[in-house]
Amino acid sequence: KLNRNEPVAVFGPRHSEQMLSHARVTQALQSADIEAELSVAFQPIVDVAHNRITGVECLARWNSPLLGNVPPGEFIPIAERCGVINRLTLVLLRKALEAARHWPADLKLSFNLSASNLSSRGFVQEILDLLESFGFEPGRLHCEVTETSVMWDFKEASRAILALKETGIRLSLDDFGTGYSSLSHVHKLPLDCIKVDRSFVHGIRPDTAGYGIVKSLLALSRDMGIACVVEGVETEEELSVLKSLGTSEVQGYLFSRPLSEADLGRLFTKGMTL
Ligand code: C2E
Ligand code: CA
Ligand code: CA
Ligand code: CA
């Protein structure tokens, strides 16, 4: 029987903790010096036949003086909701382009865009202006979008995507296979690459569900004549299964964690191999 004098726990401790941290992240982000606190980490994308770096994915890092390091999976969704995502994205792109000035001229730069980037008018032009000011060839920039972000506002997203493509910028579909309607959209988007989500790769073997899925996605990308990058490769065993399926490009801790600009630079002075 409920004692009226005892407080009733409506929210479990976990719930209130999450709400508190959500509020703290929002507050810290709104008062953040984005220019000073945000940086970019670069994770190599590797051609497995030659162990050669073909590109890097740019990943946002936030070192907050209030909260310490906050992972992007936490602060990006909040940045979208509190209206700083466009500025944040452009600051990150500018930092990535600054770093890329010192790197091999054929290296591709993969860059994540969020749903709100895609639905904001004028954003594509801002990207272009930045590329131009760095003399960075648009074809070297691969914008990664997720199905969910495209579906969020399909009309505006398609408009932005067509505008991007017109300039020569490449389009990758990120986390492929995790969206709710993957196959119905791939043909509607002018894709250059699909990135297979790491959930299919973990512990992959001929008898795991991921095996059949990765095999089909590789076949799909071949049929469409586009590239395919398999994400989240952590072990030699996974790599050898993926190679047997004909995977040509991978990304994952087995080859390299996301690196600072300085650490990646050192790799390049050793040659592009890992
Ligand atoms: P994502 O785009 O799928 O990026 C790949 C994530 O997987 C990165 O996490 C990377 O560090 C991690 N990863 C790479 N290799 C492995 C591996 O072998 N094993 C495992 N377990 N993980 C691996 P990170 O940096 O924490 O980023 C998380 C997500 O945050 C990204 O997922 C992306 O959705 C988002 N994000 C990061 N930077 C940005 C950005 O600048 N803009 C936007 N809109 N989103 C970003
Ligand atoms: Ca990505
Ligand atoms: Ca991904
Ligand atoms: Ca992801």
Kindly give the distance from the C-alpha atom of residue 153 to the centroid of ligand 3, in angstroms, as a whole number: 20
Is the model's pLDDT at 7 over the cut of 60? no
Cα–Cα distance list, 102 to 86, 107, 140, 168, 269 (Å)? 26, 11, 15, 22, 10
Q: Does 252 sit in the ligand 1 pocket, CB within 6 Å?
A: yes
pLDDT band at residue 67 under the 50/70/90 scheme = very high
Give pLDDT, residue 152.
Answer: 82
Q: In the predicted model, what is the mean pLDDT of the chain?
A: 90
Q: Atom 23 (ligand 1): residue with closest C-alpha? A: 232
Q: What is the pLDDT at residue 148?
A: 85
Instruction: Give the contacts of 155 (CB within 8 A, at least 6 positions apart).
Output: none
Q: Looking at residue 19, what is its pLDDT?
A: 56
Phi/psi at 171 (5° precision)? -125, 125
Per-residue confidence band for 269, with pLDDT thresholds at 50, 70 and 90: confident
SS3 260: coil
- The reported pLDDT for the residue numbered 229 is 98
The predicted structure's pLDDT at residue 14: 47
Ligand 1 pocket test: pick from 48, 59, 78 the residue with the most ligand atoms within 8 Å of its Cβ: 59
Residues 29-38 have a mean pLDDT of 97
With a 6 Å cutoff on the Cβ, whether 232 touches ligand 1 is: yes
The set of long-range contacts for 176-180, using a CB threshold of 8 Å and a minimum separation of 24, is 176/147, 176/217, 177/213, 177/217, 178/146, 178/147, 179/146, 179/147, 179/148, 179/151, 180/147, 180/148, 180/151
CB contact at 8 A, 171 and 147: no
Spatial separation of the C-alpha atoms in residues 233 and 120, rounded to whole Å: 34
Give the integer Cα–Cα distance in Å for 4 and 8. 8
Does position 84 have pLDDT exceeding 90, yes or no?
A: yes
Bigger pLDDT: 19 vs 232: 232
CB 252 within 8 A of CB 233: yes
Ligand 4 centroid, distance to 245 Cα (angstroms):
22
Checking if the pLDDT of 12 tops 50, the result is no
pTM: 0.92
Q: Ligand 3: distance of its center to the CA of 195 in Å?
A: 6
In this prediction, residues 259-272 reach a mean pLDDT of 88
Interval 40-47 mean pLDDT: 98
Checking if the pLDDT of 183 tops 90, the result is no
> Rounded mean pLDDT of 20-34?
91
